Amino acid sequence: MAPVTVKKICCIGAGYVGGPTCAVIALKCPHIIVTIVDLNQTRIDAWNSPDFRLPIYEPGLDEVVREARGRNLFFSTDVDTAIQEADLIFVSVNTPTKKSGVGAGFAADLNYVELATRRIAAVATTSKIVVEKSTVPCRTAESMQIILEANSKPNCRFDILSNPEFLAEGTAIGDLLAPDRVLIGSLQSAEGKDACQSLVDIYSNWVPADRILTVGVWSSELSKLAANAMLAQRISSINALSAICEATGANIDEVANAVGMDSRIGPKFLKASVGFGGSCFQKDILNLVYLSESLHLPQVAAYWRQVVEMNEWQKKRFSKTVVDTLFNTITGKRIAVLGFAFKADTGDTRESASISLIRDFLAERATVSVYDPQVEHEQIWADLDDVVPKSLDEIQKQVTLCSSAFEACEGAEAVVVATEWKEFLEIDWETIYKSMKKPAFVFDGRLLLDASKLKQIGFKVVIIGRGEEIRSPISSPRRHFNVLNGENR
Ligand SMILES: NC(=O)c1ccc[n+]([C@@H]2O[C@H](COP(=O)([O-])OP(=O)(O)OC[C@H]3O[C@@H](n4cnc5c(N)ncnc54)[C@H](O)[C@@H]3O)[C@@H](O)[C@H]2O)c1
Ligand SMILES: O=c1ccn([C@@H]2O[C@H](COP(=O)(O)OP(=O)(O)O[C@H]3O[C@H](CO)[C@@H](O)[C@H](O)[C@H]3O)[C@@H](O)[C@H]2O)c(=O)[nH]1
């Protein structure tokens, strides 16, 4: 046996991962035909749209698709043909948290992975390398192997690899073009190593050899969950400290800078915020919690669960600060929420902190005006409809969706910056101030704005993790901690 030279790739799942990942492979490997397939016709139509109105917003993505689409990159709903023709198949389907049944609320729902695997087994007529691209619990490759072997045709061999994806949304193209590392896990048999080499050969077209790590398949699967858990843990750590800053008068940016300059700690992922969002962190940590519990490791499970609990608390804490500061009531008041995406430079709203904030504001009977530069209005309605315990009609009476920051802020009593879009830095805050009710409050949940400039204009400014900013004339939410008797007063 020798490593197969891959000529055709199929990617099952044309989402945030499958689309950009395989578009970059097509760009960098013009000698390989790459077909990305999905069951969702609307999504595939958008990938194929003549004016490149792609289904996801990702800086730099349309340039990549413009160059490769129609040359060696194709998007299709014909899943079976793409499977049959490919030498190597990426499984890049969604693996959301289970909503019901055993492990509900924690375990990954592997139904989509299983259906895709069964489809491969059902239609493949030649041997394939099957690559787990989706984020999955440790040992999922084993289940895939069993399903494939039990259902395959004679003379069809399947070698499973794990190749988790580490791209972050908003920087996906840069991350894919120059990854910190590409991780490939395989069985340590001769066949497993050959399959691994076939995938190494693909990435070697643009990734330096010392950035391609080959490991055992279980290590690879676990490393993906571990990386996300440790990144999220840093954010929860800095957010926990932001609460101490607010209570003491320390400044979280100064603390993060001082801590991050220790080369053992490093400066990245120490930005305090209104809470992390995105489709991955919470889901993958809960998955790790479930795995730990299944392995009878309750202390390990509790340790990781706390990272998610701290994040939930941070979101609640922020919405409570808004209510407290606005004289303990926001009933009938207009709150402008700037940013609905879970981070800047993406249109993705999955688990966005904005959703929780708006839900809390609506529960307090505020009216809310929302502006985001990328998120479609339909998506905002769908997200609110999902979490707010009211009918969509009722929600629409309380929420207005706006097409600019100015429109959202006009007549508002407070502006909440929930996503760190650069354009919020550059807007004319003087004009916004004039259009708002007074006193006009700004709540910066992203440490984005220049507080002293805003204060000069006349705003009351409340910034996450800055003790000295949080002081309203009446409600005085800043607590003084009495060190001697340990009481809040
Ligand atoms: N979004 C990210 O930034 C990111 C980064 C790294 C890893 N991941 C992981 O990658 C996986 C995919 O995430 P995503 O954000 O791309 O999800 P997504 O929901 O955007 O895309 C998944 C796509 O798979 C399609 N699909 C599901 N079952 C299918 C089937 N049987 N046949 C054909 N198509 C099918 C869906 O229609 C959907 O379009 C997840 O496991 C996720 O945890 C995501
Ligand atoms: O210092 C920080 C860094 C991030 N965030 C927030 O954390 C969330 C996640 O951000 P980020 O990790 O940049 O985006 P994702 O696209 O969710 O990417 C994460 O999740 C992906 C899916 O698994 C992984 O592939 C990536 O490596 C991992 O960074 C967002 O709400 C950010 O605003 C902070 O609050 N403070």
Task: Show which residues are catalytic.
Answer: 280
Q: Is the pLDDT of residue 476 over 60?
A: no
DSSP annotation string for 133-159 = -S---TTHHHHHHHHHHHHPPTT--EE
- The pLDDT score that the predictor gives to residue 468 is 64
Which ligand gives the minimal distance to the CA of 346?
Answer: 2
Q: What is the dihedral of CA 321, 284, 203, 20, to 10 degrees?
A: -60
3-state DSSP call for residue 362? helix
DSSP 467: G
In tens, the pLDDT along 248-295 reads: 999 999 999 999 999 999 999 999 999 999 999 999 999 999 999 999
Cα 372 vs. chain centroid, distance in angstroms? 17
The ligand 2 atom nearest the CA atom of 227 = 27
283 Cβ below 6 A of ligand 2:
no
Which of 94, 343, 417, 446, when mutated, tests ligand 2's pocket best, judged by the most ligand atoms within 8 Å of its CB?
343
- The pLDDT score that the predictor gives to residue 398 is 98
Q: Is 118 annotated as a binding residue?
A: no
What is the whole-number distance in angstroms between the Cα of residue 31 and the centre of ligand 1?
A: 26
What token pair was written down for 32? 């390989």
Q: Is the pLDDT of residue 477 over 70?
A: no
Q: Is the pLDDT of residue 489 over 50?
A: no
Residue nearest to atom 12 of ligand 2 (CA): 168
**Percent of the chain whose predicted confidence (pLDDT) is above 90:** 94
Residue nearest to atom 18 of ligand 1 (CA): 15
Which of 97, 235, 242, 420, when mutated, tests ligand 2's pocket best, judged by the most ligand atoms within 8 Å of its CB?
235
The ligand 1 atom nearest the CA atom of 135 = 41
Q: Is the pLDDT of residue 313 over 60?
A: yes
Q: Is 90 annotated as a binding residue?
A: no
DSSP 47: H
How far apart CA 197 and CA 152 sit, in angstroms, is: 23
Which ligand gives the minimal distance to the CA of 90?
Answer: 1
Number of H helices, E strands in the chain: 19, 16
- The pLDDT score that the predictor gives to residue 358 is 98
What is the whole-number distance in angstroms between the Cα of residue 153 and the centre of ligand 1?
A: 27
How far apart CA 53 and CA 66 sit, in angstroms, is: 11
Single out the residue of 361, 473, 483 nearest to residue 415, CA to CA.
361
User: Hey, how many other C-beta atoms are within 10 angstroms of the C-beta on 27?
Assistant: 23
Q: Is 165 annotated as a binding residue?
A: yes
Q: Is the pLDDT of residue 400 over 90?
A: yes
What is the whole-number distance in angstroms between the Cα of residue 89 and the centre of ligand 1?
A: 14
Amino acid, res. 71: R
DSSP annotation string for 66-128 = HHHBTTTEEEES-HHHHHHH-SEEEE----PBP-SSTTTTTSB--HHHHHHHHHHHHH--S-E
Given pLDDT bands bounded at 50, 70 and 90, which one contains residue 152?
confident
Residue nearest to atom 11 of ligand 2 (CA): 168
3-state DSSP call for residue 163? coil
In tens, the pLDDT along 245-257 reads: 999 999 999 999 9
What is the whole-number distance in angstroms between the Cα of residue 416 and the centre of ligand 2?
A: 20
How far apart CA 223 and CA 217 sit, in angstroms, is: 10
Residue nearest to atom 3 of ligand 2 (CA): 269
Q: Average of pLDDT values for 330-346?
A: 97
How far apart CA 165 and CA 3 sit, in angstroms, is: 22
Which ligand gives the minimal distance to the CA of 352?
Answer: 2
How far apart CA 86 and CA 84 sit, in angstroms, is: 6
Residue nearest to atom 10 of ligand 1 (CA): 134
Domains with residue ranges and CATH for the chain? 8-207 (3.40.50.720), 217-489 (3.40.50.720)
In this predicted complex, what is the ipTM?
0.98
Cα 191 vs. chain centroid, distance in angstroms? 35
Q: Is 478 annotated as a binding residue?
A: no
The ligand 1 atom nearest the CA atom of 18 = 16
Average pLDDT, the chain: 94
Contact indicator for 330, 323 with CB cutoff of 8 Å:
yes
Single out the residue of 2, 67, 76 nearest to residue 30, CA to CA.
67
Q: Is the pLDDT of residue 471 over 60?
A: no
Q: Is the pLDDT of residue 46 over 90?
A: yes
Q: Average of pLDDT values for 111-127?
A: 96
Q: Is 433 annotated as a binding residue?
A: no
Contact indicator for 17, 97 with CB cutoff of 8 Å:
no
Q: Is 367 annotated as a binding residue?
A: no
Residue nearest to atom 11 of ligand 1 (CA): 134
Ligand 1 binding site (Cβ under 6 Å of any ligand atom): 12-18, 37-40, 43, 79, 92-95, 112, 115-116, 119, 134-135, 165, 167, 169, 279-280
| Half-sphere exposure in the Cβ direction for 280 (13 Å, CA) | 22
In tens, the pLDDT along 185-216 reads: 999 999 999 999 999 999 999 999 999 999 99
The ligand 2 atom nearest the CA atom of 351 = 31
Q: How many residues does the chain have?
A: 489
How far apart CA 232 and CA 196 sit, in angstroms, is: 30
How far apart CA 60 and CA 70 sit, in angstroms, is: 18
**Sheet order of strands, 158-162 included:** 73-76, 33-37, 8-12, 88-91, 128-132, 158-162, 182-186, 212-216
In tens, the pLDDT along 11-22 reads: 999 999 999 999
What token pair was written down for 255? 């603390």
Q: Is 13 annotated as a binding residue?
A: yes
Q: Is the pLDDT of residue 473 over 60?
A: no
Strands (E), 217-286: none
- The pLDDT score that the predictor gives to residue 93 is 98
446 Cβ below 6 A of ligand 2:
no
Q: Is 11 left (phi over 0), alpha (psi -120 to 50) or beta?
A: beta
Q: What phi, psi does 444 have (nearest 5°)?
A: -100, 105
